[in-house]
Structure 1
Amino acid sequence: MNTWQSAALAALTILPLASPAQEQIDRDEQTADEIVVLGRSVATSSTRIEVEREILVDSATALKDVPGANVNSNGLITGIAQYRGMYGDRVAIDIDQLGIISGGPNAMDTPLSYMSPMITEELVVERGIASVSSAPESIGGYINTRLARGSFSGGDLATSGTLGTRYSGNGSVNTHAGRLTLANENHRYSLVAELDDADDISTPVGDIRPSRLSRQRYDLSYAFNDGDTSMLLFAGVLNTTDAGTPALPMDIRAIDTKMYGVQVGKRLTENLEIEGRFAYNDVDHWMDNFTLRQAPMPMQYRQNQTQGSGSQFYLAGLAELDGAELRVGVDGIMADHDSVITNPNMAMFRVNNFTDIERDVLGVFAEWATDLDSSTLELGLRYKQVATDAGPVAAMGMPAPMGTNVGTLAASFNGADRSLSWNSVDAVIKYRYKLTDQTDWIVEVGSKTRAPSYQELYLWLPLQATGGLADGRTYIGNLNLDEERSNEIVLGITSDIGRATLSPQIFFRKVDGYIQGIPSTNMLANMVSTMMSGAPALQFSNVDAEIWGADVAWKVDLNDQWFLDGIVTYSRGKRTDVSDNLYRLAPLNGSLGLTYVADSWSIKPEVVFYAKQSKVSSYNSEQTTSGYQLANVAFAWDASDALRVEARVENLLDETYQDHLVGINRAMGSDIAAGDRLYGTERTFSAGVIFSF
């Protein structure tokens, strides 16, 4: 019996035996362009997931349920968002409509790692081309998340909240979360917290060491709303300690982040309102290669202390003009970074690999949207300037001849012009036509840019501080990089056909100046790289690329209690200047679920499939992966209005598989050999209880 048949049989066998609960979403609220399933909805313009209802450790994992999206995973809580073939800094991610400044040069504290799942109310992916007002830089897409801080309520101040706990047997993953809210119609005070803890994760071929974690997330907020004026003040803390990242050269020892923000909205007249947002955060980040994983020789011990800090702002006015809306605003991101590498066994060893880094983005935008007789139109234009700079660097404590070569690289970098800037214009057009009451067509066209990251520019010494690429290669930066420009078109349709709803979209991106690593021609850098890693360096460079594909979400209501739903995603990326593929793109994948919803309980068995990925990047020495299928089952039972019980079984048939977007193992002493791709988890049982009051 093949895997598909086994998965289907197992799912159907368990189905009549289960008695879980999950709140039923009112299908009467479903619009013509929206596919609604339990805790999720897919519309023409966005995909929305209620993350707090998902049994997850990393909120980024929820992206696997979004058409067109996926996640590059370098550890249990280091998920890097991927959308339609672009990932990392190319995909803008906000927390309550403002971004986060990362602390580390290898994306260990990814934006979604700040959103602990049980206190994340929702994750929304803007489907297709992101509007120019969404974020200062959004060449690859836009994702917004929102903390679950509670709601306003009428009458006198009243207390509400939640207490919840979840446990997963694989790795003894414990999650505890709570929210306490005091609110009335105009005021809301809220405290939320989540604690996550886990040991090493097991796969069918052995344990992944290290893959443990410990994380605490807290948020204190006050909100005001009287109908014309709204305000949110918040302060938050993230403390992550001893978390394994086996696909990277070091593990997390500590991430200490403080976050502050304010959001204000004011309706000035019946047709005019303004809104403003400001946030600041600072991060202290420590990592090393000897505490959580098998330690190397004493001379190869490395520890890295990094800092990141900065602010983000947004100010816009919204005017209603005869059936149209005009939004005009300014926004910006100001970020600073520093990084120092040392060896605790060698007091003289020190590498200042990033010093006094500055990266500032300032933009102004205008966006006009109107409803016509049977269509809608959005026109957006953004002008932005990105300015970067870096201080002088140095290295010491290395024996000759490496020390001499490294000193020469540092002197060359320090003598170069490091103050750089890029000026560009983004443009987006979105058109939606209602063919019938059941069918909408969409056409989107956009041209967007991304300036180089600070790692792509200022990585002067061959290292693997690459924003989480995790390909095992050493890189050097390039002070002569141009910005990337993506010219994109999206075509889509959403249609209700009786009991079925279908929402496919196709896209094509032509990316001029795509930044990736190619073999370095810097002989000195190659000598240093070969001495350190055994291979010459790659240098970040501009190349030309194309990315195209399609994704679809669908649902079929079999009757009032049963429905089928699923997604399918395909992205293909290749260079057009040479014969090669783009690195770390998800293969063809999808899911098929069968859901039964009763008055107080529900169950969903599903099959997830991934095709083989043979379209890999030769320049990154990327390994191919085989296809696989997995069976999962999720249950939920609303025992009362206040009590919810949930359970999930992942990899029900205990398949052995390798996710193409999971990195290559870099840690010695694991059951998976260093240099092999990490394996997916074995059969995993999880359960949770959530109490609301």
Structure 2
Amino acid sequence: MKQFFVAGYARPANTARPQLIARRPLLALAPLTIAVAFANHALAQEVALSNAIVVSAPQMEAPVITRVNLQETPVLQSATDGATVLEQIPGFSAIGNGGTNGDPTFRGMFGSRLAILTSGAQMAGACPNRMDNPSAYISPYSYDEVEIIKGPQTVLWGPGASAATVRFERAKEDFSEQDYRLNASALVGSNNRFDRHIDGVLGNEKGYLRLDANDSRADDYDDGNGEVVPSEWDKWNTSAAVGWTPDEDTLLELEVGRGDGESKYAGRSMDGTKFLRETAALRFEKQNLGENWRKLEAQFNYGYADHIMDNFTLREPPMMPMAMELDRRTRSGRVASTWDWSDYSWILGVDAKEEEHRRGLNMAKTMTDYTSEQAGLFSELTWFMNDTQQLVSGLRFDRVSATDELMTTATAGQERSDNLVSGFMRLETDLSSMPATTYVGLGYVERFPDYWELKPSNASLSGDVNAFAGVQPEKTAQIDLGINYQVEDLSWWLSGYAGVVNDYILFDYSNGTQVGNVDGYIAGAEAGARYQLSDNWSSNGSIAYAWGENRDSNEALPQIAPLEAKLGLTYEQQAWAVNSVVRLVAKQDRVALDQGNVVGYDFAESSSFATFDINGEYRLNRVVTLRAGIDNLFDRTYSEHLNKAGSSAFGYAADTAFNEPGRTVWASVNASF
């Protein structure tokens, strides 16, 4: 059975070939028509095995790293954004708002503790309440693979990622057999869901041109009781890239992208009516520069997010209509060089980022309220100690500063800056007594407070004039350990962690919005297994648990998802396969009432629930693949613990969680040639 992750025992992959422009009118092309038109061309070709893929228990073949193929996993075909992709992976959850744009968490950690990159770049949103969090701008259709590096076990991709580093990447284009590739797909489903996607590449050994465009929309969904939950969305993305490859060791690429959309939020007093995103990236890579100098890579990125939220466009206008427009401009760059010797591999690099955030009330002219700068130096060394062991270590230094540019605050014009250090060391061992790899790593991260934690409008829990003056950098020391076992019919893995967090940044809503620091403990584990029962049947399962405690109050840390398990069963035969998944979620009674983060807080304990999903695929021929699924097959009524309480504007009582979707049916067709 084909694995759905690409495992490498050595360093994480670096650059990936990207996406490219296409005007929105391209979306009028009907992928269904394309699929049918090319179907007969391939009918005479041999139909390959379906290679059904499930994500109930994604395996960690490489220590600390999990990779998931986004194109070959049926359950991910109905994902709406980056958060819904990550939720399928053990340890991840998301704070829900409605139908889309949930805010992901990993092991109970939220926000900038979780670095999310697309093609090597980070782009934060503009909303002061994270309506447009980084994963909201990610279209799963536009990427081939997501890589997760758990814990503070890398320093290559920016500062502060104490929980994990998540990288959405494109696969490298291959022109060895043909000089073009074209993919087209369409998905329809409950609640008038309709997605369209088309991407294509034309090129040869000297260069290429890539176009990508997608559109996704849906109406409000019904919960298991048949009650309507405000959740409609409509969004689109386009991108284009041109690459020059004068030889097999050189790449120079320019990529540009643009997208927009709107979304109704059951859990907010306002909706997002504009999510304009504009990006540009220039990438350079040169390999095999000398006997030991393996690679030089450089990347320069530009990102612009323009966001409007209001309470009258997507809902019944209230007596007092309100709107706010905000934007964020981000410029960043990274240069890294890799050297290889017989026993060592060394990566050395620098990165930098500057951001400007602006805001305006009731569509007034926006004004700058926040700026920040970051510059970092990083190094990562792998020592191949012998045939069965390697030691990986990393160290980075950062200088970070932020300025309160809003002249109406107590800290107007003031600048904050800190020198931060992060590092890790990890031992990886192939066991001689069994077909398994173990790892144990110790990491330390200092994280500068982000824009949402430093907002001067928030009060300070420490008694300072506001949060901008009072919130201190967060410091996490964590041990990660695990084992990965694999034989022909059986594979299983286990990863665990325990950490001490000093100056953990906490939001308290018991008396307005206050932000400050507490000290905490964190711990937890994830595990997964897969067993090939027969030639056609395989089973899989996973379990994840996260725990946190406030050392100052001896109470739970807030906004931590409960114990969760998934059990899956797959049947595959020649060109088709069926996957079924039971999701079991325990109640969460470890809560910290009125405490949380900028998006959500604990307002009640949550109940346990179980859901059952089923999906499958049929490979009609080498070109066309049909997929379909039913999520929440038994139409259960349930709500997630990480739930932004329903908005009173939609009739929800105070501190009442809104429910998740009831039975949802979807079907898709994909043509690839």
Fold match by TM threshold 0.5: yes
Distance of 1:68 and 1:128 partners within structure 2:
11
**Which residue matches 1:10?**
none
Distance of 1:155 and 1:501 partners within structure 2:
34
**SS at structure 1 position matched to 2:87:** helix
Q: Compared with structure 1, are the counterparts of its residues 490 and 144 closer, same or farther at alpha carbon in structure 2 (3 Å cutoff)?
A: same
Q: TM-score scaled by structure 2?
A: 0.86
Q: How does 1:241-640 map to 2 (within 5 A)?
A: 241=262, 243-267=263-287, 268-272=289-293, 273-298=295-320, 301-342=321-362, 355-373=368-386, 374-394=388-408, 410=409, 412-414=410-412, 418-436=414-432, 438-460=435-457, 477-496=467-486, 499-518=489-508, 536-620=511-595, 621-640=602-621
Offset, 1:660: 1.0
Q: Compared with structure 1, are the counterparts of its residues 326 and 111 closer, same or farther at alpha carbon in structure 2 (3 Å cutoff)?
A: same
Offset, 1:256: 1.1
Equivalent of 1:642 in 623, 626, 632: 623
2:253 is aligned with 1:232:
yes
Offset, 1:62: 1.9
Tell me the alpha carbon deviations over residues 329-377 of structure 1, each in whole angstroms, 9 at most, x when there is no partner. Answer: 10122111011222x8xxxxx798x833111121101111022221111
Q: TM-score scaled by structure 1?
A: 0.84
Distance of 1:130 and 1:573 partners within structure 2:
20
Distance of 1:125 and 1:29 partners within structure 2:
12
**Which residue matches 1:530?**
none
Offset, 1:145: 0.2
Q: Is the 8 A contact 1:580 1:618 kept in 2?
A: no
Distance of 2:3 and 2:554 partners within structure 1:
51
Q: Compared with structure 1, are the counterparts of its residues 651 and 28 closer, same or farther at alpha carbon in structure 2 (3 Å cutoff)?
A: closer
Offset, 1:462: 7.0
* Equivalent position amino acid for 2:165 in 1: Y
**SS at structure 2 position matched to 1:504:** strand
**Which residue matches 1:99?**
122
2:654 is aligned with 1:691:
no
Q: How does 1:64-103 map to 2 (within 5 A)?
A: 64-103=87-126
Distance of 2:4 and 2:574 partners within structure 1:
14
**SS at structure 1 position matched to 2:352:** strand
* Equivalent position amino acid for 1:567 in 2: S
* Equivalent position amino acid for 1:275 in 2: E
Q: Is the 8 A contact 1:664 1:675 kept in 2?
A: yes
Q: Compared with structure 1, are the counterparts of its residues 27 and 67 closer, same or farther at alpha carbon in structure 2 (3 Å cutoff)?
A: closer
* Equivalent position amino acid for 1:75 in 2: G
Tell me the alpha carbon deviations over residues 528-577 of structure 1, each in whole angstroms, 9 at most, x when there is no partner. Answer: xxxxxxx7313110110111101012111112221111211000112001
Distance of 1:326 and 1:63 partners within structure 2:
30
Offset, 1:249: 2.7
Equivalent of 1:47 in 66, 70, 78: 66
Offset, 1:270: 3.2
Q: How does 1:173-192 map to 2 (within 5 A)?
A: 173-192=193-212
Please identify, of 616-625 and 283-292, the stretch whose mean Cα deviation from structure 2 is larger. Answer: 616-625
What is the number of residues matched between the two proteins?
610
Q: Compared with structure 1, are the counterparts of its residues 421 and 104 closer, same or farther at alpha carbon in structure 2 (3 Å cutoff)?
A: same
Offset, 1:255: 1.3
Offset, 1:56: 1.4
Percent identity, aligned pairs only, is: 24
Offset, 1:206: 4.2
* Equivalent position amino acid for 2:404 in 1: A
Offset, 1:478: 3.8
Tell me the alpha carbon deviations over residues 494-545 of structure 1, each in whole angstroms, 9 at most, x when there is no partner. Answer: 12366321110110121000011247xxxxxxxxxxxxxxx73131101101
Q: Compared with structure 1, are the counterparts of its residues 486 and 50 closer, same or farther at alpha carbon in structure 2 (3 Å cutoff)?
A: same
Q: Compared with structure 1, are the counterparts of its residues 632 and 315 closer, same or farther at alpha carbon in structure 2 (3 Å cutoff)?
A: same
| Aligned-pair Cα RMSD in Å | 2.5
Distance of 1:610 and 1:62 partners within structure 2:
18
Q: Is the 8 A contact 2:397 2:420 kept in 1?
A: yes
**Which residue matches 1:129?**
152
Distance of 2:54 and 2:254 partners within structure 1:
28
* Equivalent position amino acid for 1:368 in 2: L
Offset, 1:73: 2.1
Distance of 1:625 and 1:296 partners within structure 2:
31
Distance of 1:508 and 1:57 partners within structure 2:
32
Tell me the alpha carbon deviations over residues 13-60 of structure 1, each in whole angstroms, 9 at most, x when there is no partner. Answer: xxxxxxxxxxx6269998999xx9716552233222222342212231
**Which residue matches 2:657?**
677
**Which residue matches 2:45?**
none
Q: Compared with structure 1, are the counterparts of its residues 441 and 195 closer, same or farther at alpha carbon in structure 2 (3 Å cutoff)?
A: same
Please identify, of 621-630 and 484-493, the stretch whose mean Cα deviation from structure 2 is larger. Answer: 621-630
* Equivalent position amino acid for 1:25 in 2: K
Q: Compared with structure 1, are the counterparts of its residues 667 and 165 closer, same or farther at alpha carbon in structure 2 (3 Å cutoff)?
A: farther
**Which residue matches 1:159?**
180
Distance of 1:271 and 1:502 partners within structure 2:
37
Structure 1's unaligned 5+ residue stretches are: 1-23, 345-349, 395-409, 464-474, 520-534
Offset, 1:619: 3.6
Structure 2's unaligned 5+ residue stretches are: 11-50, 596-601
Q: Is the 8 A contact 1:668 1:674 kept in 2?
A: no
